[in-house]
Structures are given as structure tokens and as C-alpha cells.
Amino acid sequence: MDNDIKTMKFEAETKKLLDLMIHSLYSSKEIFLRELISNASDAHDRLHFEAITNEALKDAVEEPAIRLSVDKDKRILTISDNGIGMSKEEVQTNIGTIAKSGTKELFEKLKQSKVEELPTELIGEFGVGFYSAFMVANRVTLVTRRAGEQTATQWESKGDGTYSISDGERDAPGTTIALHLKPADADDGLDDFTEEWVLKRIVKQYSDFVRYPIILPVSREKEEDGKKVTEVEEETLNSMKAIWLRPEAEVKEEEHKEFYKHISHDWQEPLKHIAMKAEGRFEYQALLYIPSHAPFDMYYSTFKWGLQLYVKNVKILENAEDLLPPHLRFIKGVVDSPDLPLNVSRELLQHSRQITQIKKSLTKKVLDTLKYLKETDEEKYNGFYKEFGAVLKEGVSSDFENKDRITELLLFESSNDPEKLTSLADYVSRMKEDQEEIYYLTGESRQVIESSPHLEAFKERGLEVLYLTDPVDEFMMGTLTEYKEKKMRSVGKGDVELGTKDEKEQAQKELEDKSKQFSDFLKAVQKELDDHVSEVRLSKRLTESVSCLVGTEADLSPHIERLLSKNKVDVPAHKRIMEINPDHEIVQKLKARFDVRPTDLELADHAQLLYGQALLAEGSPLPDPATFATLVSKLFVRSL
């Protein structure tokens, strides 16, 4: 057989990751075993899946096992499975590269952190379980043969930037990974991984629930005919008990944490677990986990989500997306039902009444759990919301049935307290007696919104305004038009009517009177700005600033328009209304000047200055910054 040994370089990103891994001061180095066992367990699952649809593979399915073995003298620990295995190409793509979307972005994050301070969660986010082997080994050899293929592949690396790949030898499908262990060094988190008791402890701690036996040959001393003899016996180290089938009260929090890490490939602990059991005509058990942090690829179309679906403790699907709605795509977990057919397919799931029913119950349960968390542990809930609030918000527009439940879970920044997020219920409890609407303003950040002229009349009256800073907010508000029969009102759009009925009428009358006096002036200014604004009118919302721009209810906010055009989404051009403050000194002087000299050529410049100021105040760019700068310079000179 032609057996070229090829030496290949790791991709730059993989190499960097390896360096990080090897040099990291990560203290729980023993988790490498959890990661390798997890991969072996997945390999068994995959073989099982493929064998369902591929007759040819049926013969490859042996009694599944994950075997550990130790060569004490050579300090080699071997982990071997008889799962699906890998072809040569698969070894190259799966082990030689990190082929995950978003890797580049993640590396940007990594670049900012020093090797010594490598955040563990970042290692986990790559799903680079395999590389954790290099935390404990200075050489790793992998021999694998894919089920259905006759040839095996050997891969070897010292984690030094290159790896070699060649044909290997393996009698049956599966994967064997040999770790040439570094010397034990307790100070560095390196236990002696050739010790039976160390391996037993680690397996028990991290992998007890793995559904395949993890087997270790264990030596025992026996007395035979009065003589001591050492016998080697195979011992299964894990209980293999499905954690969701055990009584909830019996499962320790530690076990949940490890099970979560096993199914999610997340290295951090979950925020909370949710256990459910439905009995009666259609039975199922569910064990769900709310993660504590958002995966970096949650917004990528390639993001894999969904729950693991089991039928009678046999895994049927890895990512069943039909069990939860997309706005709960961050939830990890398992659903097991004895009442589903074993050969259930994705297509079947989509049309299954039972699955729809499970989805409905799980969704409600997750939302209720979040509500409970919000009511009982504000800090924890805020942590959750920071990570997943934006995803949850998608549900306001897409999940009609649970819209109210989700709305109760929303939190917003507000003018009330810069330190605290507020719920809509809390906002309503603080509303002024004569206040009928819930006010909000969308913008890029709290800082930008806070200095917006649109808020002036509201600040003056002590009216609370919600600050919506998430891009998704703008779209959500398209659906969230009211809360508890109170209309949601953008203070950046439409007309402003504040105060009691009498006050409103009074204000309206005053404005109409003034507008008459200002009529010619307003028309003249508008003529100068015809290319930019649809109307120039007097404002009820400004008390300090001279001008601002307002949209109609249907308009998108300017920062969203900018965001969309940055992402090359066509936004139809439309003009907004410019409001000017009739009580402002500038407006009064301009008007007085106009009354005397209606054909004043400088009005053109002044109109541009009013418009430019309005744009700058809301954080929008100027259409022609150079001309604006010249105008400001002209004014400057005059004032000196």
C-alpha cells in the first residue's frame, strides 16, 4: 500500500488556538478526558443514525464501548471507540482545521486577550474539545477508520504547528487516540492520568451519564491457592443512567452541570435547569438548560440549535428544531418520549401533532421559568437578559400565542434610573396620573438618546421615557404597539401632546396662533430645505434646542436606516419633518430679520444650519459636512 506520510501545517488560526491551549493556565486540565469521551459518545450516536438509513453500515455496528487503557511505563493513555470513525478527508477537515463560521470574529476577540489570561469560555466556544488533549499530552496520535471504509488513517502531532497524516492500521471502524502524557505535576493541574483511581474519579465526575460503557481494564489482587495473583478485569466506570429518567430530586446540581456541558459542548455552567415530565395519553420527559452565556454564532444562519430527541432512551435526532421556537434557540436539552415511533424523521416531526404539543408545553414552561427567575432573582435574570434578551425579543413579533408572556419578560433602559433596567409593568406603575401612553425613543446608545432634543418636553414634565438601544427593538415596536391598553408612543415620531386635556387644547391653540404668525417664515425656510425635509413646522417637543427632525409613525428611525444601508439593505428615500422651536432666541431673531428682509439671501445658509444642527443632535451624519463647516466658520468670524 502506498503510504505517504504527509507533514502538514495547521492553519494559522488552529495553530494559535493550540498555542493558547497548551500554554493556558487553565486549572481543570483533566476535562480533556470529558471532551474526548464526549466525542467518542457522539461518534457512537452518529454511527447509530447512519446505520438506520444506510444498510451497508448495519454490519459495522458492534456492541458500542469507549475503552480507556494505560501504558504506565511509556506514560500513554489511550481512548478508543468503535463509533463512526473518520475518513482521511474528515480527519483533515475536522482535526486539522477549525471549520466553523464566525471563527474569524472570535479570533478578533482572542487577539485582545493575552495567552496567560485565556478565557476558558472562548476555548469552549470553538467546539475544540479535541485540542484540549494538548493540555496534558506532548504528543497525540489518532488512528481512525470510517465505518463502511476499508482503510484507516493515522494523524499525529506534537501540537507544535504541524501534524502528519498517513495511512494507518485498524481492524474495525472507530477511533483510537493515544496521548503521550506530560509528566504529572499537581501544581499545574496535571494529575497522573495513568492511575486507575484518577481515571475512575474523572469519569465518575464528568461522564457518568454517558450512554455507552466507558471501560477500563482494572488490576485486582486475588488469592489463589494461598498465593497472591494479579488479575486484570474490565470494569465499566460510568453508571450510564440517563439523567432525565432519574427522579429529579436525586440528581445533584453537579451532575446537571456536567450533563449540560456534555450535550452543549459549552465549557461554562448553565444558568438553570428545567425538568419536565408529562404523563397520561402522551408521555415524555424533558430536561432543559438555560445557558449562562450566548454562543458567539447565535445569529449566524449556520447556528445549530434544537433539542436532542430520544425515543425510549435511544437518540433519534441531535438537533430537533421543531421542539422549540427560534426565539428560544439558545436552550439546550433533551426530550425523551416512549410514545414516538423509533423511525421518526425530521419531516414527520414537522407534521406531528404530538411534537406540536410538546413544543407548546416546553415553550410555556421556559417562559414561565424565566418569569419566575425575573421575580425571584433580579441579578441572575439581568445576567440572562444581557445575553439572550435580544433573541427573546424576536418572539414578540413571531410568537403570537406567547406575545404577552414574552412582553412581561422585556427589560429596557429608561430615563428613570441610569443604573437599572425596567420592565413595562414597572414603567406603568410609575406613570403620571394623567399619562396615557408609554413613551420611548430608539437610538444607538443611552448616551445618544439622552442628549436628543426629542426628549426635552418630556424631561421638563418629568415624564419617563424608555430608551431602546437594540437594533431589534425598532422592529419589535412595529408589533408591540400597546401594553395593558396603553399605547406605545415614540417621542421621535409624529405629534407630541402632553398634559391634561385642557393643557393639550391650550398648547394646540397657542401653536396654531404662532404658526399663523410664522407661516411665511416657515414656508421660506422649507423652500431652502426642499431637498431634505417634507415640512418645516413649529415644535411642541423642544424646550431648549432650536431644531429637530421627526418622522411619521411608519418611518424607521434614522439609526436603523443607517444600520440597514450599512448592511446594503435598500431603504426607500423619504423626507422627515423639521421642527423648530418658536421660543428659541435664534428662531425669534431669524423670524424678526425675515419680517424686515424677506428676500435676505442669507436665509439659505441659516436654514442649512438649522437642519445640520438637527441632524447632529440626533447623531446622524451631515449630507455635506464641508459646506456645513464653512457655514460655521463664517458665523464664527462674525462673532469675533
Instruction: Give 58's contacts (C-beta < 8 A, 6+ positions apart).
Output: 51
- Shortest distance, CB of residue 330 to ligand ADP, whole angstroms? 17
**Of the two residues 127 and 383, which places its CB atom closer to ligand ADP in the complex?**
127
Give dist(CA 92, CA 9) in Å, integer.
11
CA distance 614 to 453: 8
Kindly tell me which of 146 and 256 has the beta carbon lying closer to ligand ADP.
146
Q: Hey, what amino acid is at 389?
A: G
Binding residues for ligand ADP, how many (CB under 6 A)?
Answer: 17
Q: Closer CB to ligand ADP, residue 334 or residue 367?
A: 334
Query: Which residues, 6+ apart, have CB-to-CB distance to 64 below 8 Å?
Result: 44, 47, 48, 81, 82, 83, 212, 213
Burial category of 85 from C-beta neighbours within 10 Å (exposed 0-12, middle 13-18, buried 19 and up): buried
Using rule CB under 6 A, residue 261 touches ligand ADP = no
Residue among 37, 86, 133, 307 that touches ligand ADP (CB under 6 A): 86
Q: Would strands 174-181 and 162-168 be described as parallel, antiparallel, or unpaired?
A: unpaired
Shorter beta-carbon distance to ligand ADP: residue 126 or 611: 126
Nearer to ligand ADP among residue 24 and residue 452 (C-beta): 24
Q: Which stretch binds ligand ADP (CB under 6 A): 77-85, 400-408, 577-585, 611-619?
A: 77-85
CB of 90 to ligand ADP, least distance (A): 7
Cβ proximity to ligand ADP, 81 vs 561, nearer residue = 81
Nearest distance, CB of residue 83 and ligand ADP, angstroms: 5
C-beta neighbour count of 252 within 10 angstroms = 9
Residue 332 beta carbon to ligand ADP: minimum distance, rounded to whole angstroms = 13
Smallest gap from Cβ 121 to ligand ADP, in A, equals: 14
Nearer to ligand ADP, 175 or 207 (CB): 175
CA dist., res. 153 & res. 174, Å (int): 11
Secondary structure letter of residue 152 according to DSSP: E
Report, in Å, the least distance between residue 261 CB and ligand ADP.
Answer: 11
Task: Kindly state the smallest distance separating residue 334's Cβ from ligand ADP, in Å.
Answer: 18
Residues 109-128 that bind ligand ADP (CB under 6 A): 127-128
Helix residue spans in 181-227 (DSSP H)? 196-207
Task: Pick the binder of ligand ADP from 45, 81, 156, 191 (CB under 6 A).
Answer: 81
Residue 274 CA to residue 370 CA, distance in Å, equals 10
Binding to ligand ADP, residues 541-570 (CB under 6 A):
none
Between residues 31 and 324, which has the closer beta carbon with respect to ligand ADP? 31
What is the rounded distance in angstroms from the CA atom of residue 237 to the CA atom of residue 200? 6
In whole angstroms, how close is the CB of 160 to ligand ADP at the nearest point? 18
* CB-nearer residue toward ligand ADP: 76 or 86: 86
Residue in 64, 83, 325, 558 binding ligand ADP, rule: CB under 6 A: 83
Q: How far is the CB of 48 from ligand ADP (least distance, A)?
A: 13
Residues 15-44 that bind ligand ADP (CB under 6 A): 35, 39-40, 43
Q: State the Cα–Cα distance between residues 592 and 603, nearest whole angstrom.
A: 12
Beta bridge partners of 142: 155, 177
Sheet-wide strand order for 437-442: 413-414, 465-468, 437-442, 486-490, 482-483
Minimum CB distance to ligand ADP, residue 294 (Å): 17
Q: Which of 29, 265, 332, 489 binds ligand ADP (CB under 6 A)?
A: 265
CA 439 – CA 344 distance, rounded (Å): 49
Looking at beta carbons only, is 35 or 474 nearer to ligand ADP?
Answer: 35
> Under DSSP, is residue 315 helix (H, G, I), strand (E, B) or coil?
strand
Distance (Å, rounded) from C-alpha 562 to C-alpha 172? 58
Residue placing its CB nearer to ligand ADP in the complex, 17 or 287: 17
Q: Tally the C-alpha atoms within 13 A of residue 204's C-alpha that lie toward its C-beta.
A: 8
Shortest reach from residue 474's CB to ligand ADP, in Å: 36
- 403: amino acid identity, one letter: K
**By CB under 6 A, residue 344 contacts ligand ADP:** no
Q: How many residues does the chain have?
A: 640
Give helix 585-596 / helix 603-617 axis angle, nearest 10°: 160
Q: Does 129 bind ligand ADP (CB under 6 A)?
A: yes
Selection from 331, 398, 339, 340 nearest residue 369 by Cα:
331
Least distance from C-beta 172 to ligand ADP, angstroms?
Answer: 13
Indicate the residue among 16 and 403 with the shorter CB distance to ligand ADP. Answer: 16
266 near 333, Cβ under 8 Å? Answer: no
> Nearer Cβ to ligand ADP, position 123 or 290?
123
Which of 26, 107, 130, 282 binds ligand ADP (CB under 6 A)? It is: 130
The CA distance from 22 to 159, in Å, is 8
CB of 95 to ligand ADP, least distance (A): 6
Answer yes or no: are the C-beta atoms of 603 and 438 closer than 8 Å: no
Q: Supply the minimum distance, in Å, between the C-beta of residue 290 and ligand ADP.
A: 20
Query: What DSSP designation does 498 have?
Result: -
**Among 14, 141, 175, 526, which residue sits at the site for ligand ADP (rule: CB under 6 A)?**
175
CA angle 226, 232, 234 (to 5 degrees): 135
- Give the x/- contact pattern for ligand ADP in 212-251, rule: CB under 6 A: ----------------------------------------
Closest CA to 172 of 153, 191, 204, 146: 146
Residues found near ligand ADP in the complex (CB under 6 A):
35, 39-40, 43, 81, 83-86, 94-95, 127-130, 175, 265
